[in-house]
Amino acid sequence: MKIELQQKRWVVRIIFTAIYLLIPFIKINGDSILRFDIPSLGLLFFGKTIYIENFFIVLIFTFFITFLIILITQLYGRIWCGWLCPQTVMMNFTKFLENKNLSFFTKFLFHTAVLAISALIGASMVWYFVSPYAFFSGLTDGTISSVTVWFFIVLTIITYLNFALIRYKFCTTICPYSKLQSVMFDDNTLIIAMDPETSYKCVKCQACVNTCPVGIDIRQGMDSQCINCGRCITACTKTMTRENEDVSSLINYIYGFNNRKKTFRTNVIITGVVTALFLSGFLFMAATMKPYEFQVFPNSAFLPRYKDDQVINSYEIMLRNLTKDNLRVELKLKDFKNYELQYPQPLVVAPDETLKEKVFLFIPAAELKKKPILSLTMQSLGNDEKGKPLESELSFRRPIRKKK
């Protein structure tokens, strides 16, 4: 059995919607697979947490997505709009609102259903910022924050008004992507159009015009308002079948008006290379992201001093755990042997926490006879001592007062 075009779109839309709704519920290492966690200000991304300090990684990923969209548009036109865009997907799920010949009671039921769908979508958008498990438990025991509730209510109302009043007007008047697409198209981009070679067989049934959700006439040529939904193809196919024509449809997906598929084009190659570079940069930075932060600052409340034959300096260390596991850290000096470090042991930092501790460094006074100031490097070794240690520069000073 041959699957009709609109049936394929329905399958794709259902799968896409299911993935969108389920992603916040899927966990890796105890957290959502993808969510910007408001309490910790960190992006949960496939088992890793990218905190606000490392958001340049997210910027690189944003550039990758941007150029990927440009690349897909250069190759396949507005395939996103017609098959995956949440706006057009939801418009199809609420298509029953387009029926004008309904009784008041039926309209009330339909709008109630749309309000329920809007509430689900509003909640799903909140789940990408607040754990859905915390969301539901907060609703049942009354501990959910008022900010979360108001966000949910506002998003539900905006979504409902969009479905009930704006609908496809958003695609033709507001959506910036529809305005930019003409810049990204070329003579070999995939479009929906009437085949010039068979256009003379058009019986002017107006089926393609009547079924178009944005109200364009595809027979007049490519229009920037076209969302590539393919309804006109389905309508023309039915007409051609009824007319017993030797072509399945006068309207179809074609690669430019000359219908020549040419994948490797100059603009596509350039965009593809840039996209690959941003993806490589993102993957490299995500893979090499530090599991914690380490910094050393002078302890201004403690002046350098002598103790017996040693000089003491004090520092304040800052450790921030960027993982979801307890972090155990050991400290040492790099390329310096004759010293003693005193600090609370073991240094353990809880997940998503910042620890500040005082550290006292003892060095024999004889080491400072030639140089009153030593430039040293303190290293921190995390749970995996085989890994590369984090380093922070420090200055070790001889006391101003002479030893008594």
- pLDDT level of residue 178 (50, 70, 90 thresholds): confident
Residues 241 and 303 reside in one and the same domain: no
Cα of 380 vs its chain's centroid, Å: 32
By the 10 Å C-beta count (0-12 exposed, 13-18 middle, 19+ buried), 171 is classed as: buried
Question: What's the sign of the alpha-carbon dihedral 183, 186, 192, 194?
Answer: positive
- pLDDT level of residue 2 (50, 70, 90 thresholds): low
Residues 347 and 242 reside in one and the same domain: no
Q: Which of 182, 217, 235 is the last residue of a domain?
A: 182
Which of 269-273, 311-315, 374-378, 383-387 has the least mean pLDDT?
Answer: 383-387
Residues 42 and 105 reside in one and the same domain: yes
* 273 part of a folded domain: no
pLDDT for 305 equals 92
Whether the pLDDT of residue 300 is over 80: the answer is: yes
Q: What is the identity of the amino acid at 152? A: F
| CB proximity list for 54: less than 8 A, separation 6 or greater | 289, 322
Whether the pLDDT of residue 69 is over 60: the answer is: yes
Whether the pLDDT of residue 309 is over 70: the answer is: yes
* 287 part of a folded domain: no
The predicted model gives 130-157 an average pLDDT of 91
Which of 75-89, 207-221, 240-254, 375-389 has the least mean pLDDT?
Answer: 375-389
If one counts the domains in the chain, the total is 3
Whether the pLDDT of residue 366 is over 80: the answer is: yes
Residues 16 and 165 reside in one and the same domain: yes
Residues 382 and 335 reside in one and the same domain: yes
Whether the pLDDT of residue 368 is over 80: the answer is: yes
Residues 155 and 230 reside in one and the same domain: no
Interhelix angle for 104-127 vs 132-141, to 10°?
120
Whether the pLDDT of residue 385 is over 70: the answer is: no
* 63 part of a folded domain: no
pLDDT for 214 equals 87
The predicted model gives 59-77 an average pLDDT of 89
Angstrom distance (rounded) from CA 87 to CA 100:
21
* 200 part of a folded domain: yes
Angstrom distance (rounded) from CA 112 to CA 345:
61
Read off the tokens for 126: 């909140």
Which of 39-43, 151-155, 395-399 has the least mean pLDDT?
Answer: 39-43
Residues 27 and 172 reside in one and the same domain: yes
Structural contact between residues 312 and 361, judged by C-beta atoms closer than 8 angstroms: yes
* 103 part of a folded domain: yes
Whether the pLDDT of residue 52 is over 80: the answer is: no
In this structure, the number of other CB atoms found within 10 A of the CB of residue 28 comes to: 14
**Tell me, what CATH number does 389's domain have?**
2.60.40.10
More confident residue, 173 or 403: 173
Whether the pLDDT of residue 384 is over 70: the answer is: no
The predicted model gives 343-347 an average pLDDT of 88
The predicted model gives 107-114 an average pLDDT of 90
* 242 part of a folded domain: yes
Residues 146 and 13 reside in one and the same domain: yes
Structural contact between residues 262 and 188, judged by C-beta atoms closer than 8 angstroms: yes
pLDDT for 323 equals 77
More confident residue, 183 or 263: 263
HEC letters along 332-343: EECCCCCCEEEC
Residues 159 and 40 reside in one and the same domain: yes
pLDDT for 224 equals 77
Per residue in 237-252, pLDDT (tens digit) is 999 988 887 788 899 8
User: Domain residues for 242?
Assistant: 187-255
- pLDDT level of residue 150 (50, 70, 90 thresholds): very high
Residues 178 and 83 reside in one and the same domain: yes
Select the highest-mean-pLDDT range: 6-10, 89-93, 94-98, 147-151: 147-151
Which of 7-11, 112-116, 137-141, 287-291 has the least mean pLDDT?
Answer: 287-291
pLDDT for 404 equals 57
HEC letters along the chain: CCCCHHHHHHHHHHHHHHHHHHHHHCEECCEECEEEECCCCEEEECCEEEEHHHCHHHHHHHHHHHHHHHHHHHHHCCHHHHHCCHHHHHHHHCHHHHCCCCCHHHHHHHHHHHHHHHHHHHHHHHHCCCCHHHHHHHHHHCCCCHHHHHHHHHHHHHHHHHHHHHCCHHHHHHCHHHHHHHHHCCCCCEEEEECCCCHHHCCCCCHHHHHCCCCCCHHHCCCCCCCCCCHHHHHHHHHHHHCCCCCCCCEEEEECCCCCCCCCCHHHHHHHHHHHHHHHHHHHHHHCCCCEEEEEEECCCCCCEEECCEEEEEEEEEEEECCCCCEEEEEEECCCCCCEEECCCCEEECCCCEEEEEEEEEEEHHHHCCCCEEEEEEEEECCCCCCCCEEEEEEEECCCCCCC
Angstrom distance (rounded) from CA 199 to CA 102:
37
pLDDT for 1 equals 42
The predicted model gives 289-307 an average pLDDT of 90
Angstrom distance (rounded) from CA 372 to CA 395:
10
pLDDT for 394 equals 94
* 160 part of a folded domain: yes
More confident residue, 189 or 403: 189
Mode of pairing for the β-strands spanning 310-321 and 305-307: antiparallel
The predicted model gives 24-52 an average pLDDT of 82
Structural contact between residues 238 and 250, judged by C-beta atoms closer than 8 angstroms: no
Closest CA to 235 of 251, 247, 220: 251
Q: Which of 200, 226, 255 is the last residue of a domain?
A: 255
Residues 177 and 102 reside in one and the same domain: yes
Whether the pLDDT of residue 274 is over 90: the answer is: yes
* 268 part of a folded domain: no
Question: How far apart, in Å, are the Cα atoms of 8 and each of 84, 124, 334, 364?
Answer: 12, 25, 62, 78
Q: Which of 153, 182, 211 is the last residue of a domain?
A: 182
Residues 226 and 369 reside in one and the same domain: no
Closest CA to 231 of 254, 247, 208, 250: 208
